Amino acid sequence: MQNTVQANKQSSDRFLIIVILAILAIGVLMVYSASSIWAEYKFNDSFYFLKRQLLFAGIGVIFMFIVSNIPYFQWVKYRKLIFIGCILLLIAVLIPGIGMVRGGARSWIGIGAFSIQPAEFMKLGMILFLSGYLVHHQNTLTQFRKGFIPPLTMIILLFLLIMLQPDLGTGMVFVLTSFLLLFVAGARIFHFVFLAGFGLIGFLLLIISAPYRINRITAFLDPWQDPLGNGFQIIQSLYAIGPGGLFGVGFGNSLQKYFYLPEPHNDFIFAIVAEELGFIGGMFVISLFFLFIWRGILVAIHAPDLFARLLAIGIVGMIAIQVMINISVVIGLIPVTGITLPFLSYGGSSLTLTLCSVGILINISKYRK
């Protein structure tokens, strides 16, 4: 089978690579624009976050091209080892003295300025493991007890492990991506309908168990009820998007980055994109994401085998889900979840892992039928 796949090897999908690099380049520019004032105030260096983002992007691109040259079927051999390593990292981050607390969540492991977010690794680790698992269990997946319950149990347990940090945003992306893989592999729609009722109950319990999540819901429903508290972030995001108009106020001319919108270079960077580049600029960025998703789906459709197809759909689905949630939060369609915008938001673990993931996608494109 590997010999047959090797014989069909072609060049990489250059269009896909160009789209990825275009989004990444816009992200680097917008990180600088959004963070320059805050960086000057906090570090006396307006280029502080830009320099770090360039480092993350450079490392990520190098890894992307390295991974793109590793035949995708080689990951089958190491998927279990990678999966176990990701689980151990998720457990380690919960241990005091190892896990680092930031923003009220114990989600990081690191030494000094260098840190990683194990939940980000878990998303890719789960896609690799679940893709291989479903290839071998596709025939039983239509059976609820024998085929659907085992992977579902594993997904729920790992979700609960992520929620111990807690990190609801990453947990949502993790669960939705996993369910997408189950659906594409052949699980019955009835199983998901049956699961939806229990999922809704569980989601309500998660909200009730943490007062800050209830506050986020109420702030989403009426942010102006507490404009200086829970509703502050979404109000400032809308204040950034509104004045942007059709063409924006111009690159570097955002007002909201002057300490109004908290850390605008992270989760709410799209608000600065809309303010400075306007509706046209925001739609251009969204169009690039649509091109990426479309091209990624084509890679999956023309993949040479089921493992490659599931792997490609998992990677594209993970990024698409994250984009939809992030932008929906920024424009006020759903409550704040704390999810970065792939390729654009400032960050090391998220950006590097995203670029490694698309490296696998690029490799699969070399073997398209």
Residue located via tokens 């080892």: 81
pLDDT tens figures, 271-307: 999 999 999 999 999 999 999 999 999 999 999 999 9
Per-residue pLDDT tens over the stretch 141-178: 888 888 888 999 999 999 988 888 878 888 889 999 99
pLDDT computed for residue 82 by the predictor: 93
The 3-state secondary structure of the chain reads CHHHHHHCCCCCCHHHHHHHHHHHHHHHHHHHHHHHHHHHHHHCCCCHHHHHHHHHHHHHHHHHHHHCCCCHHHHHHHHHHHHHHHHHHHHHCCCECCEEEECCEEEEEEECCEEECHHHHHHHHHHHHHHHHHHHHHHHCCCHHHHHHHHHHHHHHHHHHHHCCCCHHHHHHHHHHHHHHHHHHCCCHHHHHHHHHHHHHHHHHHHHHCHHHHHHHHHHHCHHHCCCCCCHHHHHHHHHHHHHCCCCCCCCCCCCCCCCCCCCCCCCHHHHHHHHHHHHHHHHHHHHHHHHHHHHHHHHHCCCCHHHHHHHHHHHHHHHHHHHHHHHHHCCCCCCCCCCCCCCCCCCHHHHHHHHHHHHHHHHHCCCC
pLDDT at position 350: 86
Q: Which residues contact 112 (CB under 8 A, 6 or more apart)?
A: none
**Helices 269-301 and 349-365, axial angle in degrees (round to 10):** 30
Q: What integer is the mean pLDDT of 175-203?
A: 83
- pLDDT of 61 reads 94
Type of residue at 133: Y
- Please tell me the predicted confidence (pLDDT) of residue 296: 95
Q: Categorize the per-residue pLDDT at 182 as very low, low, confident or very high, splitting at 50, 70 and 90.
A: very high
Q: What is the mean predicted confidence (pLDDT) over 104-108?
A: 73
Q: Are β-strands 105-111 and 99-102 bridged in parallel, bridged antiparallel, or unpaired?
A: antiparallel
**pLDDT at res. 2:** 57
What pLDDT does residue 95 have? Answer: 83
Asked whether 5 and 367 are in contact (CB, 8 A), the reply is: yes
pLDDT of residue 111: 60
pLDDT digits (tens, 9 = 90+) for 301-321: 999 999 999 999 999 999 999
Give the whole-angstrom CA distance, residue 25 versus residue 18: 10
120 and 107 Cβ atoms separated by less than 8 Å: no
- Flag whether pLDDT at 208 surpasses 90: no
Which residue type sits at 17? I
pLDDT in tens, 236-249: 888 889 888 889 99
| Residue pair 128/311 in contact by the 8 Å Cβ criterion | yes
Mean pLDDT of the chain: 86
Q: How many domains does the chain have?
A: 1
Each residue's pLDDT tens digit, 48-83: 999 999 999 999 999 999 999 999 999 998 999 999
In this predicted structure, what is the pLDDT of residue 66? 95
Give pLDDT, residue 92: 87
Query: pTM score, two decimals?
Result: 0.91
- What's the maximum distance between 2 C-alpha atoms anywhere in the chain? 64
Close Cβ partners of 303 (under 8 Å, ≥ 6 residues apart): 309, 311, 312, 364, 367, 368, 369
Q: Structural domain of residue 90, as residue ranges?
A: 2-365
Cross-strand pairs, 96? 99
Q: Tell me: pLDDT of 7 over 70.
A: no
